[in-house]
Each structure stands twice: as C-alpha cells, then as structure tokens.
C-alpha cells in the first residue's frame, strides 16, 4: 500500500511539473510565476512531503530549466518588486498553514531559495558611446541592470564595469571588425544573465607612416588607464603595485613592430644579434646602445622626436584600453595566437608581425623579446608620475617590459615588470620606439 501511495505521489508531482511547465511556457510573467509556485506548494501539501524545502527547490529548478531550454531564455521580464512581495506572502501563508508553527527564519529560507531559482538579473538596456569607432578607440559602455537581489558585478567583454548611480559603466577597446559587446550581470546569489544584443563595427586603424629606415608607426591616442595589477591577479609580483591612474595627455606614435635587425644595421652599421635575419627583432642590445641608436636616427632624419617609450606609455599601449591580464583577456590558453613564448617559440626569435596584433594594431607587445623603456627601475609605484612621463630619480637599473620567447606565460602579462643594468645585453632583449606627434 505504501509503495502504491509513493508511486501515486511521484506521478502527482510529474503531473504538476508538466502543468507548470506548460503554464510557464505560455505565461512567463508575473501571474505565471505566482500560479507555478502556488500549484507546486499545494501539491506538496496534498501529498504531505516532509522534505518540503528540498522538494520546492528541486521542483522549481526542474520547471525553470525545462522552460528555458524550450524557449531559449534565461531571464524573466516582470516587475521584480511586485513579484517578490507576492511570492513571499504566498510562501509565508502556506508555511503557516502547513506547519502550524509561528513564522520563523525557516520561512525566509524557503522564500529566498524559491526566488533565487526563479529570478535572474534583468538587463534593461545597454548603451554604447559609439557603434562605429576607430580600431583601438575607447567605447564607453553603460548598462542598466535590476534584480530583486543586489547586483555583485557586471562585465562587458571581460572588462569589469563600475557602479555609477543607477548604471554600471566602463570602457572597452574597439577591436577591428564587427563585434558584439557581451554583457554578463551577476547578483549576490550567484545568478547570472547574459546579453549580446549590442555590437559595433571598427575599421582598421590607419598607419602613422614609415620613416626613412622603414620603421612603421601606429598612432596611439591620448587617454587614461589604471597602471599596475591588483592583489588578486594571478601571477602578480609585488613591484606591480599600487595600481594608480595615469593620464596620457598627448597622443604619440609607437613602432608597429619591434626594431628589426635590418633597421638597426641601416642606422648603426652592425648587427649584434645572436639569431640572424633581417626581419627578426634585434637583440643583444643594451639600454645605452639603444640611446646611441636613437641619437643617430634623429640625426639622419633631422628631427628630435624619436625616443624610448616611458614605462607608463608602454603599458598604456600594450593594454590598448583593456584591463585584463593580457590584452586579449585573462585566459593564457589563447596566448599562442598572439605571442611567442617558451611554449611555442622553440627557444628562438621569430620574424616580427607573425602573430595577432593587440586592439591598437601593435604586434609582439608581449613575448618575442623584452623591450627597454626609458624609466629607472623602482620596486613599487609609490611616488610614480601620473602624467605618463618617464620616472627617473635614483636607481642603477632600467626597466624592461613584455616578456620574451624564453619566458613562461605569467611573465607576459601586461602589468609584469623586469629590470636590468643599462649595459646588459641578452638574446632575449630588444626594443621599440616612440615618435612624438
């Protein structure tokens, strides 16, 4: 007899699931949700299930998953405050009738579980500052999100947005081509909603031209960025803090590729590199020797505009408007598409420009060879300039950036730093130039 009753109870629950799935499919709104919760709870009362909370949780989850698969949806579009209030009242009343006990904390647990299953954050609108930016331009993204629970984070293409009044706002860098802006909103209960309804189209970034020895430059716009890395970043070193806001007031031009052996030879008349090839990056050049190269190049062209980038300019250009560990995201598994490093280089240099460029059209900004910058090395950013200028001051070593072909992925992060004596030469160290606008 007990077995027959159990079977009838299970069949009864299956019927409830089928009915509620049908209702929710056709009435995915406030009233549909109320009907669903009411019928599930009434069904549980009828069969007197003792594991009330667990069964409510399981049933609602099953119903919701079935409907979402059928309709391809992941959110409800209903007045959150109204539904929250009504559902909570229904649950409290049913609990009192069912248990004949005073209202207790258990009631709130039931309501919270039911609500966390049914509702997700609702993305009401997404606004882009431009849908036709130039490649590398910063796009401001403003997202309006609501939820019955508190929103814990909102990201746009992996960039974390910040709360700003009733909106979540941040900037992403425009990548060449047509791309969607993928929004992910997460609430404090761990529920997420995604939206990819907005997109932009960015034409290729124009070249700033070539100079007399064939060095091609890319225009880098003025702007601001957060330099350094947060404590939570995987692989972080202590000399990458504190994170500080840097304003690059003036646009500049940066060489599209690392300086090649042919370009070095055309200016200096020699080739100190260990690995030989005209289009391989020049290496085994010290910081002091790079200063001589720059001086001669300025003389050849009759100008005084060539120099090494400051450390802030280098990181600003490498990030290209992004805030992730690498300029393509946080996932190092994609690194082989963009850079030469220990896992794909064969422990040697390769011709410049063979991998994908960053959002601003710069190649090999990480990996390939370490790149000298102007700054004296300091073991933290305490007291660092905030205007993008080089940090001189006391110190015997100069900074190198970007990692190299013989280093692991963790050293190719945008925030990673290294330091060397200015007379240091190595097969993994080269440079690129800046030309002031």
What is the per-residue pLDDT across 102-156, written as a single tens digit (0 to 9) for each?
A: 444 444 444 444 554 455 778 889 999 989 887 767 788 999 988 656 788 899 9
Q: What is the pLDDT of residues 283-321, one digit of tens each?
A: 999 999 999 999 999 999 999 999 999 999 999 999 998
**122-202 has which CATH code?**
2.60.40.10
Long-range CB contact pairs, 82-87, < 8 A, 24+: 82/30, 83/30, 83/33, 83/34, 83/119, 83/148, 84/115, 84/119, 84/148, 86/30, 86/34, 87/33, 87/34, 87/37, 87/111, 87/114, 87/115, 87/118
Contact (Cβ atoms closer than 8 angstroms) between residue 273 and residue 430: no
Q: Which residue has the higher pLDDT, 298 or 43?
A: 298
Q: Over range 380-402, report the average pLDDT.
A: 95
Q: For 233-277, list the strands marked E by DSSP.
A: 244-248, 252-255
Residue 317's nearest CA partner among 308, 325, 329, 309 is 309
- Domain segments of the chain as ranges: 2-118, 122-202, 207-436
Task: Report the first-to-last Cα separation within the chain, whole angstroms.
Answer: 89
Fold of 207-436: 3.90.1580
Contact (Cβ atoms closer than 8 angstroms) between residue 313 and residue 385: no
Query: What angle do helix axes 30-47 and 52-71 make, rounded to 10 degrees?
Result: 140
Residue 156's nearest CA partner among 134, 135, 138 is 138
3 state SS of 77: coil
pTM above 0.75, yes or no: no
Tokens coding 384: 């660092």
- pLDDT-derived band at 193 (thresholds 50, 70, 90) equals confident
d(CA 18, CA 59): 11
């Amino acid at each position: 007899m007990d077995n027959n009753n159990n079977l009838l109870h299970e069949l009864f629950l299956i019927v409830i699931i089928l009915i509620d799935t049908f209702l929710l499919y056709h009435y995915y709104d406030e009233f549909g949700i109320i009907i669903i919760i009411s019928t599930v709870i009434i069904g549980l009362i009828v069969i007197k299930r003792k594991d009330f909370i667990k069964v409510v949780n399981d049933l609602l989850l099953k119903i919701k998953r079935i409907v979402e698969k059928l309709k391809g949806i992941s959110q409800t579009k209903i007045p959150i405050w109204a539904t929250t209030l009504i559902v909570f009242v229904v649950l409290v009343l049913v609990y009192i009738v069912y248990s004949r006990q005073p209202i207790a904390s258990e009631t709130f647990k039931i309501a919270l579980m039911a609500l966390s299953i049914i509702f997700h954050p609702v993305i009401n609108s997404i606004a882009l500052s431009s849908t036709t930016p130039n490649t590398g331009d910063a796009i401001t993204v403003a997202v309006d999100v609501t939820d019955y629970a508190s929103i814990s984070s909102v990201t746009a293409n992996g960039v974390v947005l910040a709360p700003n009044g009733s909106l979540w706002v941040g900037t992403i860098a425009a990548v060449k081509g047509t791309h969607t802006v993928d929004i992910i909103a997460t609430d404090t209960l761990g529920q997420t909603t995604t939206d990819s309804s907005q997109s932009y189209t960015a034409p290729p970034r124009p070249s700033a031209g070539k100079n007399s020895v064939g060095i091609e430059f890319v225009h880098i716009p003025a702007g601001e960025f957060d330099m350094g890395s947060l404590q939570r970043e995987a692989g972080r070193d202590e000399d990458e803090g504190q994170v500080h806001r840097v304003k690059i007031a003036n646009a500049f031009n940066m060489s599209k590729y690392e300086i090649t052996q042919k370009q070095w030879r055309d200016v200096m008349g020699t080739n100190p590199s260990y690995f030989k090839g005209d289009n391989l990056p020049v290496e085994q050049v010290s910081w002091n020797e790079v200063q001589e190269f720059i001086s001669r190049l300025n003389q050849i062209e009759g100008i005084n505009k060539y120099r090494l980038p400051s450390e802030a300019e280098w990181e600003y250009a490498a990030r290209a408007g992004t805030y992730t560990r690498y300029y393509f995201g946080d996932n190092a598994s994609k690194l082989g598409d963009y850079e030469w490093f220990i896992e794909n280089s064969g422990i040697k240099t390769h011709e410049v420009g063979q991998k994908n460029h960053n959002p601003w059209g710069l190649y090999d900004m990480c990996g390939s060879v370490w790149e000298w910058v102007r700054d004296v090395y300091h073991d933290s950013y305490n007291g660092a300039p905030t205007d993008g200028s080089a940090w001189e001051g006391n110190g015997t070593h100069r900074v190198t950036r970007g990692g190299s072909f013989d280093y692991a992925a963790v050293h190719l992060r945008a925030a990673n730093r290294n330091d060397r004596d200015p007379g240091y030469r190595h097969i993994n160290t080269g440079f690129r130039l800046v030309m002031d606008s």
